[in-house]
Structure 1
Amino acid sequence: MTDYVDGYCERVAPGLWGEPLDSLSSLAFLVAAVLVWRLAKGDRTGRVLAVLIGLVFVASTAFHLLATRWAAVGDSGALLLFAAVYAVLFTRENWGPRWAWAAAPVFLALTVGSALLGGGLYLGALIGLGVFAAILAFKRDTHWTHSAVAGAIFALSLSLRGLDRDVCDYVPAGTHFLWHLLTGVVLYLVSRTLVRRESP
């Protein structure tokens, strides 16, 4: 678990500052966490989401500074934890607590299934955003656009994440830092659909 991980264009050798752009761009998650915390104004759901986004910031920063296997697991795990908890909270908000805890196993099954089929760890989250946007649109909830826009941004973000290793010869810094910036926006937008909803 302490093995060195060289998975991105920007990193060419071990060392804490081997990925300056990837490390600094992780601050996007911290900004999102602070904004969600302020938006929550004491709301419990908002505080939980803000803390989870803060955990994503810590895990992402640790991985891009340390570049070890255990840090990589923590990086992916923090984002998937946010997605699973969000699925539970979204389901509780829209269908009540009876169905809420079914959301996490469904999300886990979707994540594992998409990963086994070659779609990666985060394809399930992208599918989930599409489903959430459709549910809110069906209910004529004005916040459906937040999920729809978040889904579109996340699709672009995933594409840039996947392109990183393919563009090293042309863009030495890679594109992974853009994944951080855009995904930070996504986490804020999806949190906004649940926290302190504005009146239509």
Structure 2
Amino acid sequence: MNWTAYVDGYCERLAPGLWGEPLNDVTNLAFLVSAAAVWWRADGRRTGRALAVLVGLVFLASTVFHLTATRWGGAADSGFILVFVLYFAAKFPRVFLGVRMKWSWLAAPAFVVLTVAMAALGDSLYLPALVGLAVFTAVLAYARDPYWPHFAVAGAVFALSLAFRSIDGVVCGVFPSGTHFLWHLLNALVLYVVSNAMISKEKAPSPTPAKGPSTVDRAAAD
């Protein structure tokens, strides 16, 4: 495979060149803003900082891809999104469900299996992420975790984002810039929402188990 081959996959791009997709290039800055916001929310915590760095790498890879329009750029773009998703999946059971890390990380290969299975059926490589958000939402709602609405909102926004990504080539005739730039803006929001939820969950104090009456209280009762 020629990794340097030219890729013309978006409505906005008409020819090779670094500025063949100006709107797609500029809207990648939304990922940088998201990364900075996640870093600030992390407040020095390791998980939050890792999430911020991964969002920053999504910004870098997506920018390079839309500037160079090459196969290797596209692979880097999809690759760093996958790295973020796998890291988040691996940490989710630990942070939200209290599962030990030696078991929590198994959520990552489980997601890979889901992705491969859905790809074999002809589905989009990004659809498994939407399924994952739905599963996270359902699990947290069942557990009555107060953060389940964050994932419900993230899932709804990501579904809209996928729709805009899907119709990019369809609307070229009436909207030459296409709709892929909306994929960038909405995905940056999704990455912030789920990252902020994980950071907030880690920051939240663990519930204190209820204690029985103290010795003083019992003495007063007697």
Q: Which TM-score band applies after superposition, normalised by the shorter structure?
A: over 0.9
Q: Which amino acid aligns with 2:106?
A: A
Deviates more, 1:104-113 or 1:52-61: 104-113
Distance in 1, matches of 2:84 and 2:124, equals 17
Q: Runs (4+) of structure 1 moved beyond 4 Å?
A: none
- Alignment correspondent of 2:165: 161
Find 1:70's aligned residue among 51, 69, 72: 72
Q: Which amino acid aligns with 1:29?
A: F
Find 1:88's aligned residue among 71, 75, 90: 90
Distance in 2, matches of 1:195 and 1:135, equals 18
Q: Which amino acid aligns with 2:26?
A: L
Give aligned-pair identity as a percent.
Answer: 58
Structure 2: unaligned runs, 5 residues or longer: 206-222
Distance in 1, matches of 2:135 and 2:18, equals 39
Alignment of 1:17-28 (within 5 A): 17-28=19-30
- Alignment correspondent of 2:36: 34
Q: Which amino acid aligns with 2:141?
A: A
What's the TM-score once normalised by structure 1's chain length? 0.97
1:44 counterpart = 2:65: no
Find 1:151's aligned residue among 123, 133, 155: 155
Distance in 2, matches of 1:91 and 1:131, equals 12
Q: Which amino acid aligns with 2:115?
A: T
Higher relative contact order (CA 8 A, sep 6+): 1
1:99 Cα deviation after fit? 1.8
1:118 counterpart = 2:122: yes
Distance in 1, matches of 2:93 and 2:127, equals 19
Deviates more, 1:133-142 or 1:93-102: 93-102
1:113 Cα deviation after fit? 1.3
Deviates more, 1:182-191 or 1:113-122: 113-122
Aligned Cα root-mean-square deviation (Å): 1.2
1:193 counterpart = 2:197: yes
What's the TM-score once normalised by structure 2's chain length? 0.88
Distance in 2, matches of 1:155 and 1:99, equals 29
| Matched length | 200
Do 1:43 and 1:196's aligned partners in 2 also have CA atoms closer than 8 Å? no
Distance in 2, matches of 1:5 and 1:199, equals 45
Question: Which protein has the larger Cα radius of gyration, Structure 1 or Structure 2?
Answer: 2
**What CA deviation, in whole Å up to 9, does each residue of 1:67-103 have, x standing for no partner?**
0000000000110110010000112222221321211
Distance in 2, matches of 1:181 and 1:131, equals 23
Secondary structure at the aligned position of 1:109 is classed as: helix
